[in-house]
């Protein structure tokens, strides 16, 4: 009886040794972590296991934007502001606020003229006049004029007021149509710092 008991205890100790998990610890990054658990079992054994979960909820970037609603352009150009305030959690998330020109089509801009030749155009009926949009740089000079849509005009990493310039490219005083209309539509969003 004593031999059976000792043999049973020896078998139980071997079984416990083969079931014991081995775990490797690694730096916590998103996704499946390095390391694994391995069970070697013999016979009709039942094993429970668990997966350790970790989640760090990053604070989402927030910001407020203030822009003018309309503009009476001047012949030699007009500076227009974009004010970004209440910025939070941008740098911590490696992000910045991006201001892009989505398009320059006013609601009543003639649909058949919404093409590459009529980007950045004011209109009067079916007459068109080009204008340019340039970002104002930190040294008060102006950057290159935008030529396409979805181009970045201004960027913000903190609270600031920045400017861009809108300038008509023809002499309106000699034009037979003295009143011109247009619109700039923007996309403002959060982008990754590269």
Listing DSSP states for the chain in one string gives -HHHHHHHHHHHHHHHHHH----------SSSPS--------SS-------------PPPPEEEEE--S-----TT-EEEEEEEEEEESSGGGTEEEEEEEEE---TTS-GGG-SGGGTTEEEETTEEEEEEEEEBPTTS-B-PPP-SSSEEEEEESSSEEEEEEEEESS-GGGSS----B---EEEEEEEE--
DSSP state of 69: S
Q: Is the pLDDT of residue 19 over 60?
A: no
**CA angle at 188 for the pair 182 and 190, rounded to the nearest 5°:** 165
36: pLDDT confidence band, cut at 50, 70 and 90?
A: confident
DSSP lists the bridge partners of residue 75 as none
Residue scoring higher pLDDT (126 or 50) = 126
User: What is the residue extent of each domain of the chain?
Assistant: 1-56, 62-192
What is the per-residue pLDDT across 58-97, written as a single tens digit (0 to 9) for each?
Answer: 788 999 999 999 999 998 999 999 999 999 999 888 999 9
Q: Which fold has domain 62-192?
A: Immunoglobulin-like (2.60.40)
Residue labelled with tokens 């020896």: 10
Which of 21-25, 142-146, 171-175, 180-184 is the least confident region? 21-25
pLDDT (0 to 100) of residue 118: 94
pTM: 0.69
């Amino acid at each position: 009886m004593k031999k059976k008991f000792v043999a049973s205890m020896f078998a139980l100790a071997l079984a416990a040794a083969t079931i014991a998990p081995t775990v490797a610890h690694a730096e916590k990054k998103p996704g499946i972590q390095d390391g694994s658990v391995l069970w070697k079992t013999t016979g009709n054994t039942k094993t429970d296991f668990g997966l350790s979960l970790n989640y760090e909820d990053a604070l989402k970037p927030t910001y407020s934007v203030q822009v003018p609603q309309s503009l009476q352009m001047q012949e030699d150009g007009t500076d227009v502001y974009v004010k970004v305030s209440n910025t939070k959690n941008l740098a911590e998330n490696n992000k910045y606020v991006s201001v892009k020109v989505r398009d320059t089509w006013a609601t009543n801009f003639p649909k058949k003229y919404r093409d590459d030749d009529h980007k950045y155009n004011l209109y009067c009926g079916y007459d068109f006049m080009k204008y340019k949009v340039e970002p104002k740089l930190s040294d008060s000079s102006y950057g290159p004029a935008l030529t396409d849509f979805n181009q970045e005009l201004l960027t913000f990493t903190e609270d600031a007021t920045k400017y861009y310039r809108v300038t008509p490219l023809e002499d309106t005083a000699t034009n037979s149509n003295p009143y011109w209309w247009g619109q700039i539509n923007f996309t403002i969003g959060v982008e990754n710092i590269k």
